[in-house]
Amino acid sequence: MTAFADQLLPVELEERAPDDLSQLLTADRVADPVDASRAADAQPAARGVPPKPAEQSEQPVQLGPSTQSDRAARPDRSDSAARADQPVQRSARAGRPGRNLGDIGWRGLTLAAAVTTVLALGSVMAFLALEGAPAVAGDATDLPAQAPDIWALTWPLLFGSAWVSGLALAVAAPVGVGIALFSVLIARRRLGGWLGASIDILAAVPSVVYGLWGLTVLAPLVAPAYAWVADRLGWIPFLAGPASATGRTVLTAAMVLAVMVLPLVASLSREVIRLVPSNLIEGALALGATRWEMIRLVVLPQARSGITAGVMLALGRALGETMAVAMVLSPTPFLISFHLLRSENPGTVASFIAQNFPEAHGLETNALIWLGLVLFALTFLINSLARTLVRPKGGTT
């Protein structure tokens, strides 16, 4: 019997197909879904029969206990997508206007700030208009400085403010822009930082200090130079003599104002020039442009709006400056003159108000308030012009 069994076993193993042997070998193993599918596809291939499509398989794949637990632990994609959409819908509902308390509070706060600014501006304008109106319709004999009428007092002072401020900007604007270009594009980083910090310190100096410096240092220093210029260049109308012996002229006041407004022009121009894209600067230099051509064709056009804004802010500071001009300038009432070196100089609105307000009463006070209204209107006009110049072409600000 043993010999007969030994002869029968090889015959039985030979008669079994390879696929039956593979089923016997893997019957006691827990099948994984991926391995089961691969095995199902491999059995027909071993017989030379093409595999059936997945949808035509009749018997489902048997999953082991561990695989079923893993499948149950993994969430369905459709369920996870639905749950992911729910927070988005809630956040969209929460972001609707009027539903979120934080949005309502922030909107109310910003609206209150804007309305407060407009109301403050309107109240100042209304006060100046109401208090200054009696000076226009009142008796001219009660006006300050014995002015024949209110307009004879207004126009010379308005001219003097514009003339002194224009001269100050003619000095401060090119110097400030040049300092900004040098500190950003030419000087080394350490030297540029030191120079920028030194210029910014000038903005912290009080105006009365500038006035004392101009009165006690600058005016006596430039008086001999004024006499020399008047003797040799007196044929030029602006420089005609006789020159002032004290040096307290329009040109001296303009130089003091130029030093005062220089930090505004320099600091704003420096920050705007730093915002010019470096690839434009490097591209211009790579194309063979010189440093001056790079500044003229690339940097200045890109920074034009910012530089203009800085110059306009400096002009507003110069128009409203009071103490420094009042201490340096020696004004002559009701004078309109373009001479720079003479002792007779036109006054400014701000300095005239500061010098006459302590002793003013009655209609004189109304006349000084009227001058404040004129200066306010001039500043508003200059700011409107600045917005027009800064506004980009084809856009709004």
> Which amino acid appears at position 256 of this protein?
V
Amino acid letter at 319? Answer: L
> How is domain 109-390 classified at the architecture level of CATH?
Orthogonal Bundle (1.10)
Residues whose CB is less than 8 angstroms from the CB of residue 382 and which lie 6 or more positions away in sequence, other chains included: 312, 315, 316, 319
Residue 107 has pLDDT above 80, yes or no: yes
Taking the C-alpha atoms of residue 213 and residue 232, their distance in angstroms, rounded to an integer, is: 28
Q: Which residue has the higher pLDDT, 279 or 394?
A: 279
Q: At what angle do helices 363-390 and 349-356 cross, to 10 degrees?
A: 150
What is the pLDDT confidence band of residue 118, given thresholds at 50, 70 and 90? very high
pLDDT of residue 79: 52
Confidence (pLDDT) at 151: 86
Give, in order, the Cα–Cα distances in Å from 359 to each of 5, 74, 144, 356. 140, 90, 10, 6
Phi, psi of 331 (to 5 degrees): -85, 155
User: What is residue 83's predicted lDDT score, i.e. its pLDDT?
Assistant: 53
Q: Indicate left, alpha or beta for 16 from its phi (over 0: left) and psi (-120 to 50: alpha).
A: beta
Higher per-residue confidence, 5 vs 303: 303
Section 272-289 average pLDDT: 88
Identify the residue with better confidence: 239 or 63: 239
Q: What is the mean pLDDT of the chain?
A: 76
Tokens at residue 68, please? 């079923």
Provide the pLDDT for residue 32. Answer: 47
How close are the terminal C-alpha atoms of the chain, in Å?
Answer: 109
The residue ranking higher by pLDDT, 18 or 140, is: 140
Specify the pLDDT at position 355: 85
Residue 77, pLDDT > 70, answer no
User: 351 φ, ψ to 5°?
Assistant: -70, -35
Q: What is the pLDDT of residue 172?
A: 92
More confident residue, 346 or 68: 346
Instruction: Select from 211, 196, 176 the least CA-distant residue to 321.
Output: 211
Q: What confidence category does residue 238 fall into, taking pLDDT thresholds of 50, 70 and 90? A: confident
Instruction: Check residue 174 and give its pLDDT.
Output: 93
Tens digits of per-residue pLDDT, 313-323?
A: 888 888 888 88
What is the percent of the chain with per-residue pLDDT over 70, rounded to a whole number? 73
Q: Residue 213 pLDDT more than 80?
A: yes
Instruction: Give the pLDDT of residue 379.
Output: 86
CB contact at 8 A, 315 and 285: no
Give mean pLDDT, residues 293-320: 87
Q: What Å distances lie between residue 263 and 119, 180, 321, CA to CA? A: 31, 10, 15
Pair of tokens at residue 305: 């709006």
Minimum mean pLDDT range among 6-10, 105-109, 122-126: 6-10
* Other residues' Cβ atoms within 10 Å of the Cβ of residue 156: 23
pLDDT class for 393, splitting at 50, 70, 90? low
For 345, phi and psi rounded to 5 degrees? -135, 145
Q: Which two tokens stand for residue 192?
A: 């540029």
Helix (H, G, I), strand (E, B) or coil at 331: strand
Mean pLDDT of 320-349: 85
Concatenated DSSP letters of 192-209: HHHHHHHHHHGGGS-HHH
